[in-house]
Amino acid sequence: MSSPELVYLQSLHHISVLAPLVQRFSSQETLRQLQQVFSGDLAPRYQLQNSQNMSITDGMAQISHLVLPEIMYKHSACHGMHEVSQAGAETIDFILESVFQPQDAELILQIKCEDNLSSLLNCARYSTVLQAYQAREMCLAALIISLSTSNCLAVLEVATSVVAGCPELHARAAEICLSDMQAAIEADEASFALLSANTLSFLLQHDDLMCSEDHVFLTILKWVESEVKGRRNPLLRQLAGSCIRPSQLSYNQLILLDAHPLVSNNMEAISIVSGLLIRMIMTDPEGARAGDPKNRPRKGRTDLKQQCQQSLAS
């Protein structure tokens, strides 16, 4: 079990990063489900060691004041977390009221801020380790409930970057991204452009990605072409080399790629597609090594012809 101090600081860090996303993405359905799950006393639900129900010392609270504002600003600036929905504000209200019981009313009144997001973080700073942990768990639950193709890219990037991680949130956000990558990109192009190279590579290398290899290449090219410094041709070749599975590309797909505007306007992209075409012409497909992970089909790959036949049959 982690020390009380570590649980406290990790909980505050996660609240500062996750709560703005809750405020941005929560819907009335999020609030309804959260109220169902967290009705009643939270104490029996989240039991820590007795020592971790301790009150926070002034020294620990001061440390959090020094560290957390910078972390919160970094994430809010990168992911547009200043956006607030009415349902999001109500969800933060519900978390605040659920974690801090009537006996904590004096504490809340003393440190009530202009917005409930700041109030939640400040109350967690000056409460107990258990209450900080409870607030973190409720923020996490609200985000998991709210996940959809319209926000999964933004949530995945945050879940990847937070200290000590949020594996459950990361797994669920990744699952949605992989199931319909194109829809996720179209729904939130701003968050797609802000993905780190590591997050994009994680998605595009995944066996469960529901996406053909030509779309993998176009996705890389679109990300590289976004208005972010330092993403030009070196990253294009690096990502194409690590993410594309050449044996899963057909000759016709490569010909169509060669004529695509995103490719024809980028000399490095033309060079990559030409290299793949030459490799296909000169290499016997049957001679490809079956054990090479870049030569096996993705589990999530769909056969368009088979889909159409099944649709007509039904």
**In the chain, where are the structural domains located?**
4-146, 147-195, 209-313
List pLDDT tens digits, range 98-152.
Answer: 887 655 555 555 555 557 777 788 777 777 888 888 999 999 999 999 999 999 9
Backbone CA torsion sign across 294, 296, 301, 304: positive
Confidence band, pLDDT 50/70/90 cuts, at residue 49 = very low
Q: Please, are residues 94 and 39 in contact by the beta-carbon 8 Å criterion?
A: no
Q: Please, are residues 184 and 152 in contact by the beta-carbon 8 Å criterion?
A: yes
What average pLDDT does this structure show over 270-293? 71
For the whole model, what pTM was predicted? 0.80
Residues 6 or more apart whose CB falls under 8 angstroms from that of 234 comprise none
Q: Please, are residues 27 and 85 in contact by the beta-carbon 8 Å criterion?
A: yes
CATH class of 209-313: mainly alpha
Q: Name the nearest CA neighbour of 221 among 232, 211, 209, 229.
A: 232
SS3 of the chain: helix, strand, coil, percent, to 5: 70, 0, 30
The rounded distance, in Å, linking the Cα atoms of 44 and 123 is 21
Confidence band, pLDDT 50/70/90 cuts, at residue 165 = confident
